[in-house]
Chain A
Amino acid sequence: MLRLLGGTLRAMTGRVTLDGRDVWSLSRRELARRMAVVPQETHSTFDFTVMDIVLMGRYPHLSAFELEGPADLAIARDALAATATTALEERLFATLSGGEKQRVVIAAALAQASDVLLLDEPTASLDMGRRLEIASLLIRLNHERGTTMVVSTHDLELAAQLCQALVLIRNGRVVATGPTEAVLTSSHIRALYDVDAEVAFHPRAGHLTVIPIARAN
Chain B
Amino acid sequence: MAEPAVRTGRHFMQGNVACAEGALAAGCRFFAGYPITPATEIAEHLARRLPEVGGICVQMEDEISSIGSVIGAAWTGAKAMTATSGPGMSLMQENIGYAVATETPCVIVDVQRGGPSTGIPAVPSQGDMVQARHGSHGDYQSVALAPCSAQEMFDLTVRAFNIAEQLRVPVYLLADAAVGHMREVIHIPSEDRIARAERRLPEAGADPFAIRGFLDEEVAPMPIFGCGHQAHVTGSCHDERGMRNVVDAEAIDHFVRTLAAKVLKRRGELVEVEAEGTEDAEVVLVGYGIVGRAARAIARQAREGGLRVGSARPLTVWPFADRELEELCGRARRVLLMENNLGQMLPYVRAAIGSRVEVEALPPQVLGTLHRPSAVLDKIKEVLR
Q: Do A and B bind each other?
A: no
B residues with CB within 8 A of A: none
